[in-house]
Amino acid sequence: MRIMRVGDRGSERPAVCSDDGGIRDISSIVSDINGNWLASGGINQLKSLMLESNKNFPTLDSNGLRIGAPLARPGNIIAIGLNYEDHALEAGMEIPEEPIIFCKAPSSYSGPNDDVLIPPGSTKTDWEVELGIVIGKEAKYLKSEIEALEYIAGYCVVNDVSERALQLERGPTWIKGKSAESFCPVGPWLVTPDEINDPGNLSMLLSVNGEVRQKGSTNTMIFGPAYIVWYCSQFMVLEPGDLIATGTPPGVGMGLKPPVYLKAGDIMELEIEGLGKQKQKVIKG
């Protein structure tokens, strides 16, 4: 199932994307896609209702319809750094022996096609296509990767937009360069695990102004999705609706020679196999 939210910012309503690409309004049975809904078994209930022949959900006209982030703003946005060996090498950093955990401010959360705002004075705003994991129920001190799979509500596309000067030149914590307004486009869908044969083997693509910059696969991650959920649960309580961004393959602007960064007017396009596409215009903040 491909779950989404559509409509103007702040007034999105829940929907699903059908196999033919149509967008079906489910706001008559779901108030919002959020942590409480996930924790209450909302996905399974929705699947049952969608299968009932007497349920007729209207198809929305997609022309001019804004696609929002696929779930309401998460309580936590957790990110994993340097999770692709070749990206660590292009960044000139050591390959981690354990996952590097940092956070993005929830206020950076935005829709998949919303504008990305360059912070005032920034000259090093960069792109990162990433596989996102959404937590479906409270997870703490999980015992194994196998158990961790039960806590994953679904997967999505994330653009972990980063301001490299703030991230790397303003002290040892990365959150400063990861948390500006619009720095976490998510969506278009939350795709349930039954739709994805292997989240550890999905092709990934990001282009800027039509030029491919990142082309990789989740099969080159150092730490896989289930391991990341298990690992994070050893240090914090993961709550329903929390988002984990799992790292990026090589090809970021910082790693190019010479480095190339985003500027006003640039267009980013992102795609992960089975999880949909994003497209953002870069503007001055």
What is the CB neighbour count within 10 angstroms for residue 179?
Answer: 23
* Contact yes or no for 246/131 (Cβ under 8 A): yes
Token pair belonging to 148: 């961790």
Distance of CA 77 to the CA centre of its chain: 9
Helix (H, G, I), strand (E, B) or coil at 6: strand
Of 112, 101, 273, nearest to 191 by C-alpha is: 273
The pLDDT assigned to 94 comes to 83
Of 241, 229, 224, 35, nearest to 142 by C-alpha is: 229
* Contact yes or no for 35/74 (Cβ under 8 A): yes
* Contact yes or no for 276/132 (Cβ under 8 A): no
Write b or e for each residue in 188-217: b if 16 or more Cβ atoms lie within 10 A of its Cβ, otherwise e: bbbbbbeebeebbebebbbbbeeeebbebb
The pLDDT assigned to 55 comes to 67
Token pair belonging to 159: 């653009």
* Contact yes or no for 118/262 (Cβ under 8 A): yes
**Given the structure tokens 């919303």, which residue do they identify?**
114
* Residue ranges of the chain with per-residue pLDDT less than 50: none
The pLDDT assigned to 201 comes to 96
The pLDDT assigned to 54 comes to 55
Helix (H, G, I), strand (E, B) or coil at 246: coil
The pLDDT assigned to 53 comes to 54
* Contact yes or no for 130/160 (Cβ under 8 A): yes
Please report, to the nearest 10 degrees, the dihedral formed by the alpha carbons of residues 112, 115, 117, 123 taken in order: 90
The Cα 81–Cα 251 span in angstroms is: 15
The Cα 5–Cα 222 span in angstroms is: 32
Q: Environment class of residue 263 by beta-carbon count within 10 Å: exposed (0-12), middle (13-18) or buried (19+)?
A: middle
Q: What is the pTM of this model?
A: 0.96
**Given the structure tokens 């967008």, which residue do they identify?**
23
**Given the structure tokens 């989240």, which residue do they identify?**
199
* Contact yes or no for 181/108 (Cβ under 8 A): yes
* Contact yes or no for 118/263 (Cβ under 8 A): yes
